[in-house]
Chains A and B, each alone.
Chain A
Amino acid sequence: MTLRIFIADDEGPARERIRELLQDIAAEMPTEIVGEARHGLEAIELVPKSRAQVLLLDIEMPGMRGLEVARHLAGLENGPAVVFITAHDKHAVEAFELNALDYLLKPVRATRLAAALKKASSAGAPAEERLAGAQSEAREYLSVTERHRIVLVPVRDIVFLRAEQKYVTLRTRNRTHLIEEPLITLESEFAKRFIRIHRNCLVAREAIRGFERAAPSADEPHWLVVLEGIEERLPVSRRQWPLLRELVADQK
């Protein structure tokens, strides 16, 4: 059976080399190239429609780095298995080992490539948790997976994240999305950017414009966050108030 392969690498000669190697091992491991991408964002756009079974993914790409690409793709139904490729990134290699992710070193050897493909074809897409474990820095995007499409939302555009039953509502200035990640993991990943104002809500620090007292009719007096570019006011819990007040005092 022919294996459908997608190649993502920003360097033309590197993609060419992979194509050559795939030809060389064709007798042993028949493959078909169903797509190529020159940077991370292009991979996110093209891979879902390609029906690729294995993605050969360079980790040092402009636009979006390989590990993050893989994390966004992990939400796909029947997503591809991923084999990472790196020229030299000691930290990445350690992280791959630790999280049992497959990788190849550049320059790639034909025999290694064949072995990796064999393994990948039976393994299927890597679990999101393992990818998350291997990525040390925070993501630049959050993603919403539709059937054959991945919608990326830049983290820097997000104004707040609010947990609502099963989902987390993600609010940018002009849109609302639902994502399926727990608020607590988002909080620790993006601690630099967001601050908790309530048990169920994280707000972008730089979007905070000020605080307002809630209408006196409320049972207990409490405070509301005023946000840049959004009408909605969000309640601050009593527990978080001292922390926020300090933060605002620091800014002044």
Chain B
Amino acid sequence: MPSIRQNDSSDLLPDFRNLAVIARVLVAVNAIALAGAIYAVPNVRGAIERFIEDAAFLEPLLFIEITVLFILSRQLGRLSYAAGCVASVAIVAVLAAGYEAGVASLSKTTAMTFRGALFAAVLAAVLLGYFRLFVKAYSPALAEARLQALQSRIRPHFLFNSLNVVLALIRRDPKRAERTLEDLADLFRSLMGDARDFVRLSDEITLLERYAEIEQLRLGERLRITWELDAAPSDALLPPLILQPLLENAVYHGVEPSTEVGDVLVRIERRGDRVLARIENATIEAGAERPGNRMAMENIRERLALFFDAEARMDVRVQHGRYRVEIEIPYLTQARRAA
């Protein structure tokens, strides 16, 4: 199973296709150029002019470097960590030397190819070191996020009410009671599972259905869920327990506090390179709302960020009497990850 375990990932090259990685590289290189300009020119105005001049030279090179790394990222990823680092640094240095020579021949100045290459190589090495540290620094956060995920996931209210449902079923419909206990067991198994491993969307959907079945028993006709899953890519990978808490929220805030029938919509679909999930419920009239929604939402947002950095999106919107949560993540599959 692919995962974001620290032991694996701290010894992995940064993903050069990840937007956040690219953004960090851009910011870091420009910051260093700015610092260099300030150091070289004593007054602020001069320093800024110098920086702009440097940037005009630097920026095209930077884009070339990033593009090449982007294209080669898969090949680089297949090397061992050390070899990958050496290769990346070498690519950067060679490109810098070539660029330096090119610019020099165009502007008819003396090329400082070696200096340029060395500078680029040192910078690249420093950045690789930074990314390694960055991942290491994040790993305790992973452990904590996992704990948090666990604690905020088991809504005691749900556990005790579900047990009560089972108790009510045992005499009248023992078969149903057995099945409900099995559903509960599955739910809790995944609640207590390793929150760092990706899961398949099809498994996550099964979990949603198990959960929905328990709630249906408890709330009867008050709960009406519409499933729109025909376009759901069952092989997509996603972090565990991203969807179930959203459905639980919809039931807890949108159905339980209402005396009317509560409609909930679950729609999951693939759109090109992205997977979109939407969970929607009717909002409750003012006064009857329940508190305590933000924690769960923050928790999900944080875990999406840990798994996908800037490439996942989560949107919460209240509109036309509907409360809508939308999640968009990259379409990952086991096959695509292995490629």
Contacts and interface: CB of A to CB of B under 8 A. Distances in A.
Interface of A: 10-14, 16-17, 20, 38-39, 41, 60, 62-63, 87-89, 105-107, 140, 156
Contact of B287 (A60, A89, A105, A140): A140
Contacts of A14: 161, 164-165, 168, 218
A138 to B, nearest CB: 10
B161 A11 contact: yes
Given A11-B219, A88-B156, A17 B259 contact: no
A17 B167 CA distance: 7
A88 to B, nearest CB: 4
Contacts of B219: 11
Nearest to B180: A13
B160 A87 contact: yes
Interface string B210-222: 0000000111101
B171 A20 contact: yes
B159, B167, B169 pick with most chain A CB within 10 angstroms:
B167
B174 to A, nearest CB: 14
A60 B288 CA distance: 11
Contacts of A16: 168, 172
Contacts of A39: 259
A32 B257 CA distance: 29
Interface residues of B, number: 24
Contact of B160 (A20, A106, A156): A106
Interface in B238-264: 256-259
Contacts of B257: 62
Nearest to B221: A12
A106 B160 CA distance: 6
Contact of A106 (B164, B256, B288): B164
B163 interface: yes
Contact of B164 (A17, A38, A62, A89): A17
A107 B160 contact: yes
A87 B164 contact: yes
23 contacts: A10-B256, A11-B161, A11-B164, A11-B219, A13-B169, A13-B217, A13-B218, A14-B165, A14-B168, A16-B168, A16-B172, A20-B168, A20-B171, A60-B157, A62-B257, A62-B258, A62-B259, A87-B157, A87-B164, A88-B160, A89-B157, A106-B160, A107-B160
Contact of B259 (A63, A87, A105, A140): A63
Nearest to A12: B220
Q: Is the interface of A mostly helix, strand, loop or mixed?
A: loop
A177 to B, nearest CB: 20
A13 B161 CA distance: 10
Nearest to B160: A87
Interface in B241-294: 256-259, 287-288
A88 B157 contact: yes
Contacts of A60: 157, 256
A14 B157 CA distance: 13
Contacts of A63: 259
B287 A13 contact: no
A215 to B, nearest CB: 39
B235 to A, nearest CB: 37
A105 B160 CA distance: 9
Contacts of B258: 62
B164 A107 contact: yes
The 4 closest A-B pairs by CB, nearest first: A13-B168, A87-B160, A17-B168, A88-B156
A11 B165 contact: yes
B156 A87 contact: yes
Contacts of A140: 287
Contact of B165 (A10, A13, A89, A156): A13
B161 A87 contact: yes
A16 B172 CA distance: 10
Contacts of A10: 222, 256
A11 B259 contact: no
Interface in B140-175: 156-157, 159-161, 163-165, 167-169, 171-172
Contacts of A41: 259
Nearest to A19: B168
Given A14-B168, A107-B164, 12 more contacts: A11-B218, A12-B220, A14-B165, A17-B167, A20-B168, A41-B259, A60-B157, A60-B256, A62-B256, A63-B259, A88-B159, A156-B287
Nearest to B220: A12
Contact of B167 (A12, A87, A107, A156): A107
